[in-house]
Amino acid sequence: MHDIRAIRENPDAFDAALARRGMENASAPILELDEARRARIHAAETAQAEQNQASKQVGAAKAKGDDAEFERLRALVGDKKAEVAKMQTEAKELDRKLTELLSSLPNVPMDDVPDGADEDDNVEIKRWGSPASLDFQPAEHFDIAGVKPGMDFESAAKLSGSRFVVLQGAVARIHRALAQFMIDTHVEENGLLETWTPVLVRDDMMYGTGQLPKFGEDSYQTTNGWWLVPTAEVPLTNLVNGDTIDETTLPRRYAAHTQCFRSEAGSAGKDTAGMLRQHQFEKVEMVSITHPDRSRDELDRMTGCAEGILEKLNLPYRTIVLCTGDMGFGARRTHDIEVWLPGQNTYREISSVSVCGDFQARRMNARFKPADGGKPQFVHTLNGSGLAVGRCLIAVLENGQQADGSVRLPEALHPYLRGKTMLQADGTLA
């Protein structure tokens, strides 16, 4: 959500910022609605004052026995009362339209975000590790011999349809170990607070983080109105919804491992093979609630937390800054981390870390009380994958695959697998 006062005071700056996201003259309809709304409010206040004044004079006219003046004033009071009600109703409707319009507009990018139209204009800022030089043709994860017994797409399709999977045996255990390893690392080394949240949330929680109203079709809603969370960003960020917290409690850093649900309404035909893009998946999510002055530094810190997971797993990756044309709706700056997948011979996204500024906080009305006793201010929010568990499983399987169909597992996972180091070609751990 945008600050109407800031737009009113500097529309040119607002227009210039959203022009970088392909929206021209964004302030014009906003200011038109705002001006009309303020005019109705002013008219209602003026009519109310006139009504109050006439009401005072009614008694005086009655006392003087001036029946004509009494009737005139009484009629005037009635007219002004009706005018006040009419102006207030119109102002309320204009306020609703203004809020709806402001809610539909994406966040403004930071100055250091590269301009661009789409993913081709994203900028790489880091690369870690080197893809292994294999003396055999690497397979995609679902075609590795040792993986096939534990990754069942046919049964999942029978149960639920396309874009689901049933994991069993050793593969299911590796998947679980990855999630546990991620949570432990974030809690014990990165200082995040482990949190368990509901995966069913109300409308206003989805609105608070920007999924509603614009992106409702990308999520699932139950028949009684709850939404299945697309990511734990929704419940974690909304922990401060409607609150005014003490500055001394900032930053608040959370990590949660949850099921996530996405309809993928806008991705028909994309990544349909294997586990890469599923309707139901698991993710370890990181969320930070920070002071405005420290949110940009927090973005770099959170990016490092996600990168550190890949480094511990010895998975090559690159980090990119999304350009203005590829950035998400609520983000001011986004770092995508892409892991190397030998089976596809390319890097694929495994984490997206974004700073949202006060964009979500305004929607949630989440503020903090400055330690010096000043006026409450909106907090800043950040979110990021730390990591997508299924995609991390894909990366572990593909990068560790051997010519005989077995998979060498990362050393960091060995303690979580009771010392097992290999997924054998027959699908068992050894």
Binding site: what residues are annotated? 231-233, 262-264, 285, 349-352, 383, 385
**What is the per-residue burial (b if ≥16 Cβ within 10 Å, else e) of 7-27?**
beeebeebbebbebbeeeebb
Work out the number of other CB atoms within 10 angstroms of the CB of residue 374.
9
Measured over the CA atoms of residue 113, residue 114, residue 115 and residue 118, the dihedral's sign is negative
Contact (Cβ atoms closer than 8 angstroms) between residue 24 and residue 16: no
Task: State how far the Cα of 11 lies from the Cα of 359, in Å rounded to an integer.
Answer: 17
Choosing from 69, 194, 247, 349, the catalytic residue is 349
Q: Looking at 159-226, which runs of residues are DSSP E strands? A: 166-167, 193-194, 200-201, 220-221
Task: State how far the Cα of 206 lies from the Cα of 226, in Å rounded to an integer.
Answer: 10
Choosing from 352, 367, 398, 406, the catalytic residue is 352
CA atoms within 13 A on the CB side of 63: 5
Amino acid at residue number 124: E
Choosing from 277, 294, 296, 318, the catalytic residue is 277
Work out the number of other CB atoms within 10 angstroms of the CB of residue 248.
9
Catalytic status, residue 262? yes
Q: Which residues are annotated as a binding site for L-serine?
A: 231-233, 262, 285, 383, 385
Task: State how far the Cα of 302 lies from the Cα of 353, in Å rounded to an integer.
Answer: 7
Q: Which residues are annotated as a binding site for ATP?
A: 262-264, 349-352
Task: State how far the Cα of 193 lies from the Cα of 195, in Å rounded to an integer.
Answer: 6
Q: Counting Cβ atoms within 10 Å, is residue 148 exposed (0-12), middle (13-18) or buried (19+)?
A: middle
Catalytic status, residue 21? no
Task: State how far the Cα of 68 lies from the Cα of 201, in Å rounded to an integer.
Answer: 62
Instruction: Report the SS3 class of residue 339.
Output: strand
Choosing from 21, 252, 262, 367, the catalytic residue is 262
At a CB cut-off of 8 Å and minimum separation 6, what does 137 contact? none
- What is the C-alpha end-to-end distance of the chain, expressed in Å? 53
Catalytic status, residue 277? yes
Catalytic status, residue 352? yes
Choosing from 140, 391, 398, 406, the catalytic residue is 391
3-state helix, strand, coil in the chain (%, to 5): 45, 20, 35
Partners of 254 in beta bridges: 193, 287
Catalytic status, residue 391? yes
- Assigned token pair, 106: 């994406």
Q: What is the DSSP string of 78-128?
A: HHHHHHHHHHHHHHHHHHHHHHHHHHHSPPPPPTTSPP-SSGGG-EEEEEE
Catalytic residues: 262, 277, 349, 352, 391
